[in-house]
């Protein structure tokens, strides 16, 4: 049978549309040849989730988001998300369908946090939904302590600057200016003193340079005098050593003889020998000596009281009779 040209064109057009439809759904991530098991998940916020987004288990894609329906008859409203699971994976009704963001550039997706209890989930069942913290939420949580510390540091800096502003009031500023002015005067005084010391040092250097020969000669003479003095002292020391060596024994011997003679004299006096011994031992001589001393004392007293008895006094060349 011969096909007409129009029929061929229609067949080609239908095949093209079917191919385009299959390609379009394939690019959207939908598999029109396998519907898989369908599950419904309730969310209060889909967080930007869109149909055809992947559904994964432990990082492996096992299905996709089929439909998102808004339930606006309830207060508050919520969303019902229909997902398909194409892989033959068994899990319980307690499995959680979690919306998360796998990366910065990709949008929100759904991952199944599987539960393996006995109540196996079947197509058409409801699963529990939740929203995981996004990538930026984790970064924000990590940066929160740092931000708190930074806020504390900034607060301390503000307080410090406030304290500095309070310290630098007009009166304090005047005092600081006065102190700086006095410091400048002090520095000028130090500068003048340094200049004076420099001039004095220059004068001393010129004086030393002009009298260098005299100072050199004086130092040479002093060195010669010290050398001569040292020689004299050395000679005197040697002479003293010789005198000590020669005369020390003789001095010791003389001291021993004198000590012996003194001991002999003391023994003679103690034994009543000689004049001193008799005087010390003879009580009569001692008594007579004591009486003589007493008479001499009486005579001296009488001489003091009556000097005219013993001395003639001449007045104008005449002698006065001595009173008896």
**pLDDT tens readout for residues 138-176:** 555 556 677 677 777 777 767 776 666 666 667 777 778
Residues 41 and 80 sit within 8 Å (Cβ to Cβ): yes
**pLDDT tens readout for residues 78-90:** 999 999 998 889 9
On the question of pLDDT at 23 being above 80, the answer is: no
Structure tokens at 230: 């040292």
What is the pLDDT, as a whole number, of residue 304?
Answer: 80
**Beta strands 60-71 and 78-85, pairing class:** antiparallel
For the entire predicted model, the pTM comes to: 0.38
**Nearest-angstrom CA–CA distance, 281 and 212:** 84
On the question of pLDDT at 17 being above 90, the answer is: no
Instruction: Locate the domains of the chain by residue range.
Output: 1-33, 37-138, 261-295
**Nearest-angstrom CA–CA distance, 50 and 225:** 117
The DSSP string of 191-218 is: HHHHHHHHHHHHHHHHHHHHTHHHHHHH
Please provide residue 86's backbone torsions phi and psi, each rounded to the nearest 5 degrees. Answer: -85, -25
**Nearest-angstrom CA–CA distance, 21 and 31:** 11
């Amino acid at each position: 049978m011969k096909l007409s040209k129009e029929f061929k064109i229609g067949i080609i057009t239908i095949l093209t549309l079917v191919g385009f439809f299959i390609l379009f759904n394939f690019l959207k991530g939908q598999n029109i040849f396998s519907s898989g098991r369908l599950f419904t998940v309730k969310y209060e916020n889909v967080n930007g989730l869109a149909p055809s987004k992947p559904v994964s288990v432990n990082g492996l894609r096992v299905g996709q988001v089929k439909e998102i329906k808004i339930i606006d008859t309830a207060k508050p409203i919520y969303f019902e998300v229909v997902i398909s699971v194409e892989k033959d994976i068994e899990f319980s009704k307690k499995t959680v369908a979690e919306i998360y963001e796998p990366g910065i550039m990709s949008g929100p997706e759904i991952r199944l946090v599987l539960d393996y209890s006995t109540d196996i989930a079947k197509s058409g069942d409801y699963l529990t939904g939740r929203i995981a913290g996004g990538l930026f939420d984790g970064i924000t949580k990590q940066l929160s302590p740092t931000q708190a510390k930074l806020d504390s540091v900034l607060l301390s800096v503000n307080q410090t600057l406030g304290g500095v502003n309070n310290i630098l009031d007009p009166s304090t500023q005047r005092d600081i200016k006065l102190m700086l002015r006095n410091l400048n005067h002090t520095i000028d005084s130090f500068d003048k003193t340094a200049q004076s010391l420099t001039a004095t040092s220059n004068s001393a250097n010129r004086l030393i340079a002009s009298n260098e020969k005299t100072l050199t000669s004086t130092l040479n003479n002093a060195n010669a005098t010290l050398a001569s003095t040292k020689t004299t002292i050395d000679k005197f020391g040697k002479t003293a050593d010789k005198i000590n060596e020669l005369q020390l024994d003789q001095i010791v011997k003389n001291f021993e003889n004198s000590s012996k003679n003194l001991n002999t004299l003391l023994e003679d006096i103690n034994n009543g020998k000689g004049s001193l011994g008799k005087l010390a031992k003879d009580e009569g001589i001692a008594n007579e000596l004591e009486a003589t001393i007493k008479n001499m004392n009486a005579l001296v007293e009488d001489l003091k009281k009556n000097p005219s008895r013993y001395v003639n006094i001449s007045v104008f060349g005449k002698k006065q009779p001595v009173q008896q």
